[in-house]
């Protein structure tokens, strides 16, 4: 995570202080369960909570100093969990001998990772909600704002800008559901000991820790939580990122000088170029496009992490230390940036109308084609008749309506008033309410 593209809320989730706090809570909750089962004394469990509270306070008041102490121990032990437990034991005292009983490092690491991923997912869901609210507001604002729909980047038929935004709203509703499902899949706890057989730690301890942390128990952990769960999580992030890029690309195209139908808000004092004072560039949408690539880059490593040797190895570990903070942090930043873009997007309805009218009515070619076939002309002949006039209109010789009026073959099937009626813009927007009802309810 780099500061330029990180928000404090997400950075705090992946900070070492948060990680160590979760590690302590896992160990302490496990000790509570052991005390209830009569494995250790309740006084010992309380001493662990009391000593751990002092350790967490020390970590909070001097995070750098205490992290360095843990790192110094790790430089000797070459093991991060042992280093942490050694440091923690200095605050707890003799009762620290009961910490981590029957457990293995992955019990702590994987369960902690699940907590952090669920915390990140909750933040991402809040981000998506903000973007959904912005898209909905602007969609209703421009529900009836006519614009040209484009296929292959070329004028196709009329639509409204509200319908465009409604489509992206629907996509992010689906993305929200994907994130909810991904959060549920990743929210599992494993306290099962070496190779996951519970030989030295009772399954009831795992169940207790899971309840306290708001997690489900992992049915078969084999010492690690299966990485297909994590693969699904990061794949969901990749889909959300691609939807962001799709929306960003739309805005980038609409801001092109030749189009100028919408543009990012340009604030007072903002500069678009170091050399050209006139420039107003879609820099935020371009930035989001780049950030989406970073998020998607986590998907392949996450998929490759599914394959581990036998009950476990740690080939996944180094990968996840990179991709988890980077993918969640980058997506968090990109979602909030996009919400801001949508909230402040400057929309030029007059320019949309001008572009819609710029090709002399070519956008009504299909209506003429359909009307001719309904009047008895073959589809092949109808297509040829409309196309030859459309190509003349494309070259700027006259409007499509004027050319079709002068076409004797078309005149044999369509009277002048019938032909004129086919150029009604309302024909293309008559089902906008239906689309909005489907999307927004």
Which one from 112, 142, 168, 273 is the annotated catalytic residue? Answer: 273
Query: What CA–CA distance (Å, rounded) separates 36 from 30?
Result: 10
Handedness of CA 100, 101, 105, 110 (dihedral sign): negative
Query: What CA–CA distance (Å, rounded) separates 266 from 259?
Result: 17
Chain-centre distance of CA 425, in angstroms? Answer: 36
Query: What CA–CA distance (Å, rounded) separates 131 from 136?
Result: 9
Three-state secondary structure call for residue 197: coil
Identify whether the C-beta of residue 361 lies closer than 8 Å to the C-beta of residue 399.
yes
Whose CA is closest to 409, among 430, 386, 427, 438? 386
User: What DSSP assignment string belongs to 121-169?
Assistant: HHHHHHHHHHHHHHHHHHHHHTTT-EEEEEETTEEEEEEEHHHHHHHHH
Q: Which two tokens stand for residue 117?
A: 């991923």
Query: What are the helix and strand counts (H, E) for the chain?
Result: 19, 6
273 part of the active site: yes
Three-state secondary structure call for residue 250: helix
- Angle, vertex CA 131, rays to CA 129 and CA 134, nearest 5: 110
Angle between helical axes of 42-61 and 16-36 (0-180°, round to 10): 170
Q: What are phi and psi of 156, to 5 degrees?
A: -115, -90
Query: What CA–CA distance (Å, rounded) separates 142 from 341?
Result: 16
Q: In which residue are the tokens 């809040």 written?
A: 126
Could you tell me where the beta strands, DSSP code E, fall in 9-164? 146-151, 154-160
Which one from 61, 151, 152, 267 is the annotated catalytic residue? Answer: 152
Whose CA is closest to 25, among 137, 139, 191, 178? 191
- Mind telling me the catalytic residues? 152, 273
């Amino acid at each position: 995570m780099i500061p330029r593209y990180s928000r404090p809320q997400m950075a705090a989730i992946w900070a070492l202080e948060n990680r160590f706090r979760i590690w302590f809570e896992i160990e302490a909750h496990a000790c509570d369960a052991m005390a209830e089962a009569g494995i250790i004394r309740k006084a010992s469990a309380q001493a662990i909570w009391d000593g751990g509270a002092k350790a967490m306070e020390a970590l909070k008041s001097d995070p750098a100093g205490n992290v360095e102490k843990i790192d110094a121990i790790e430089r000797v032990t070459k093991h991060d969990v042992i280093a942490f437990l050694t440091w923690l034991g200095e605050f707890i005292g003799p009762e620290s001998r009961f910490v981590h009983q029957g457990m293995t490092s992955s019990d702590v690491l994987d369960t902690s990772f699940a907590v952090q991923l669920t915390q990140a997912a909750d933040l991402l869901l809040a981000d998506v909600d903000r973007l959904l609210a912005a898209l909905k507001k602007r969609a209703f604002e421009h529900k009836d704002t006519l614009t040209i729909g484009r296929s292959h980047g070329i004028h196709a038929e009329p639509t409204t800008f509200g319908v465009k935004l409604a489509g992206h709203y629907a996509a992010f509703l689906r993305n929200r559901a994907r994130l909810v499902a991904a959060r549920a899949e990743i929210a599992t706890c494993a306290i099962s000991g070496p190779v996951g057989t519970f030989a030295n730690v009772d399954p009831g301890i795992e169940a207790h820790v899971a309840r306290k942390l708001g997690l489900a128990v992992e049915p078969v952990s084999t010492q690690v939580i299966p990485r297909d769960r994590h693969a699904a999580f990061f794949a969901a992030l990749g889909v959300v990122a691609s939807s962001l890029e799709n929306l960003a690309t739309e805005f980038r195209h609409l801001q092109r000088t030749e189009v100028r139908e919408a543009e990012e808000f340009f604030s007072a004092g903002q500069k678009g170029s170091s050399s050209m004072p006139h420039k107003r560039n879609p820099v935020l949408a371009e930035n989001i496009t780049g950030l989406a690539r970073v998020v998607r880059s986590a998907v392949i490593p996450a998929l490759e992490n599914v394959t581990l040797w036998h009950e476990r190895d740690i080939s996944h570990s180094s990968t996840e230390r990179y991709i988890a903070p980077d993918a969640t942090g980058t997506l968090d930043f990109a979602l909030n940036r996009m919400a801001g873009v949508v909230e402040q997007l400057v929309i030029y309805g007059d320019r949309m109308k001008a572009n819609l009218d710029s090709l002399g009515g070519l956008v009504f070619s299909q209506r003429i084609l359909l009307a001719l076939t309904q009047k008895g002309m073959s589809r092949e002949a109808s297509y040829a008749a409309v196309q030859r006039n459309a190509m003349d209109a494309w070259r700027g010789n006259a409007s499509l309506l004027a050319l079709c009026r002068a076409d004797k073959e078309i005149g044999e099937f369509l009277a002048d008033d019938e032909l004129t009626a086919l150029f009604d813009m309302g024909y293309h927007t008559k089902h906008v309410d239906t689309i909005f009802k489907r999307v927004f309810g």
